[in-house]
């Protein structure tokens, strides 16, 4: 294991993670001792429009994967329309490899609760929801207890801190479907329907929850709001890059010595993150990795110095996504890894549109054939052709994301596919998995 050099350690910028290691960090007492709810007091003295402007000025971009500018999204909510407005926090965190929202809610739930109150005040919402993944029982328990503590202290409910502002906050557990992280499927699920994406336009900003103006934001996005209110837009922009401002929680998993969450200014590189994480596991050399979860195109060892911000990763041909860096070594097989991800997308496809429902089904079968040593050269063309018919033709991002590892692994690791097809690599799957595959 390597020890990080002081200049690399200085890359850590703990803002959202700064309280995580404090004793009882999840209790309101600890939170209040460490600046907690000071931002709320400051925010409630400001005009809601000024808060929206502050978030615009900070350059904060959504932490849920797409990186949409948060202040702009809040500004889309029509004001004076006489309709109820809603804030919905997307705490579904289903993207394989992603592990930043659940630890945040487990260790520092009040950071999210405080952000929810400020954001709701800014968009003039009197009701907010946190939609949390059903399996995340421990995080949901912590969150519910934090919400209760906030009610007891007068930070939630009627006439918050005697300002006349009212807000009810509900924590809703989903049933554990990846598609319910897609914001419109999430809204359907929250309304009690089967979670499937909605046709857009109209967008949630005007026709969201119960057909009313709604902001849907990721946990990390909303938890960034209190520090911005306290520290100001310039302080936030002093971290990160010009177009990707602020710190980001990068979650490292796989063949790395110390997997976990590393919060750094955006633009840090994988080389630096690996150094912070103690390097690769002994005996392993980096071969491929995802910069932002399994829906983002794979990168290879040659991309170690790509700046991990929205623009840097895009320029390298991938997507920053959820900053879930999954690290694979020379002992891992990119064909098999891609197959396992495809199994996931096939299983999680909601079935609403044909390209994703049928395309993922067929691609899984082709992969099984290749991995069982019965693939053909034509199979590689079939895979690329199928991806071509899914990407940009699916109803939502799940279909597009499913193609990422297929096309990128074929781009960087075609030889691995050929080694299975031409018999140089021993089959990884038995022929039993091939029922009906031909």
Residues lying near ligand FMN in the complex (CB under 6 A): 62-66, 68, 90, 92-95, 178-179, 181-183, 216-218, 221, 396-398
| Residue 404 touches which member of ligand FMN, ligand SF4, none, C-beta under 5-8 Å by kind | none
Which one, 113 or 402, has the nearer CB to ligand SF4? 402
- Report the partner that residue 352 touches, choosing among ligand FMN, ligand SF4, none (CB closer than 5 to 8 A by kind): ligand SF4
Burial of 417-438, coded b for 16+ CB within 10 Å and e otherwise, reads: bbebbeeebeebbeeebeeeee
60 sits near ligand SF4 (criterion: CB under 6 A) = no
Segment 163-182, which members bind ligand SF4 (CB under 6 A)? 179
In sequence order, what E strands does 271-323 have?
286-290, 299-300
Minimum distance, C-beta of residue 200 to ligand FMN, in the bound complex (Å): 11
- The item of ligand FMN, ligand SF4, none sharing an interface with residue 351, based on CB under 5 to 8 Å by kind, is ligand SF4
Residues 6+ apart with CB under 8 A from 229: 39, 42, 43, 51, 54, 118
- Please, what is the minimum distance in Å from the beta carbon of residue 198 to ligand SF4? 10
Tell how far CA 179 is from the center of its chain.
Answer: 13
Piece of 17-25, 56-64, 294-302, 391-399 that binds ligand SF4 (CB under 6 A): 391-399
Per the CB < 8 A criterion, the answer to whether 24 and 30 are in contact is yes
3-state helix, strand, coil in the chain (%, to 5): 45, 15, 40
Q: How far is the CB of 222 from ligand SF4 (least distance, A)?
A: 25
DSSP, collapsed to helix, strand or coil, labels residue 372 as coil
- Residue where the block lists tokens 């979860």: 293
Helix (H) or strand (E) holding 187: helix 183-190
CB of 201 to ligand SF4, least distance (A): 16
237 touches 247 (CB < 8 A):
no
Minimum CB separation of residue 190 from ligand FMN in Å reads: 13
**Would you say 25 or 398 has its CB closer to ligand FMN?**
398
User: Residue 352 burial by CB count (10 A; 0-12/13-18/19+): exposed, middle or buried?
Assistant: middle
Nearer to ligand FMN, 348 or 416 (CB): 348
Q: Which does 183 bind (CB under 5 to 8 A by kind): ligand FMN, ligand SF4, none?
A: ligand FMN
Q: Which of residues 393-412 bind ligand SF4 (CB under 6 A)?
A: 394-396, 398-399
90 binds, among ligand SF4, ligand FMN, none (CB under 5 to 8 A by kind): ligand FMN
- Interface map 345-384 toward ligand SF4 (x if CB under 6 A): ----xxxxx--xx---------------------------
CB of 134 to ligand FMN, least distance (A): 12
* Residue with smaller CB distance to ligand FMN, 95 or 114: 95
Closest C-alpha to 293, from 339, 334, 343, 327: 327
Q: Enumerate residues 6+ apart whose C-beta is below 8 A from 90.
A: 64, 131, 181, 183, 186, 216, 217, 218, 219
Residues that bind ligand SF4 (CB under 6 A): 179, 197, 349-353, 356-357, 394-396, 398-399
């Amino acid at each position: 294991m390597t020890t990080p050099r002081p200049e690399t350690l200085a890359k850590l910028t703990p803002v959202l993670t700064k309280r995580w290691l404090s004793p009882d960090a999840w209790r309101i007492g600890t939170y209040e001792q460490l600046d907690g709810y000071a931002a709320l007091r400051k925010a409630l003295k400001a005009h809601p429009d000024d808060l929206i402007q502050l978030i615009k000025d900070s350059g904060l971009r959504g932490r849920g994967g797409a990186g949409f500018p948060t202040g702009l999204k809040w500004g889309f909510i029509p004001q004076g329309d006489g309709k109820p407005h809603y804030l919905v926090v997307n705490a579904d965190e289903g993207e394989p490899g992603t592990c930043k929202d659940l630890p945040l809610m487990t260790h520092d739930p009040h950071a999210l609760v405080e952000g929810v109150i400020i954001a709701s005040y800014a968009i003039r919402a009197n009701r907010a929801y946190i939609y949390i993944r059903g399996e995340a029982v421990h995080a949901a328990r912590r969150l519910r207890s934090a919400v209760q503590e906030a009610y007891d202290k007068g930070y939630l409910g009627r006439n918050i801190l005697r300002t006349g502002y009212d807000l009810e906050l509900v924590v809703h557990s989903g049933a554990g479907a990846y598609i319910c992280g897609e914001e419109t499927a999430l809204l359907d699920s929250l309304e009690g329907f089967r979670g499937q994406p909605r046709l857009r336009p109209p967008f949630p900003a005007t026709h969201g929850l119960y057909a009313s103006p709604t902001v849907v934001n990721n946990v990390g996005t909303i938890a960034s709001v209190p520090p911005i209110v306290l520290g100001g837009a310039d302080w936030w922009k002093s971290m990160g890059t010009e177009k990707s401002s602020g710190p980001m929680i990068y979650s490292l998993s796989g063949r790395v010595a110390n997997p976990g969450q590393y919060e750094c200014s955006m633009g840090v590189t994988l080389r630096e993150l690996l150094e912070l994480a103690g390097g690769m596991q002994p005996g392993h050399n980096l071969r491929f990795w995802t910069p932002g979860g399994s829906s983002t195109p794979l990168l290879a060892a040659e991309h170690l110095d790509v700046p991990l911000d929205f623009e840097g990763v895009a320029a390298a041909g991938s997507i920053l996504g959820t900053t879930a860096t999954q690290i694979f070594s020379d002992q891992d097989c990119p064909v098999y890894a891609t197959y396992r991800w495809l199994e996931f997308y096939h299983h999680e496809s909601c079935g609403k549109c044909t390209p994703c429902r049928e395309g993922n089904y067929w691609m899984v079968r082709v992969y099984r054939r290749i991995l069982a040593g019965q693939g053909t050269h034509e199979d590689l063309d079939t895979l690329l052709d199928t991806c071509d018919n899914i990407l940009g033709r699916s109803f939502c991002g799940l279909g597009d994301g499913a193609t990422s590892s297929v096309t990128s692994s074929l781009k960087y690791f075609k030889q691995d596919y050929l080694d299975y097809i031409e018999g140089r690599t021993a089959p990884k799957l038995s022929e039993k998995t091939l029922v009906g595959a031909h």
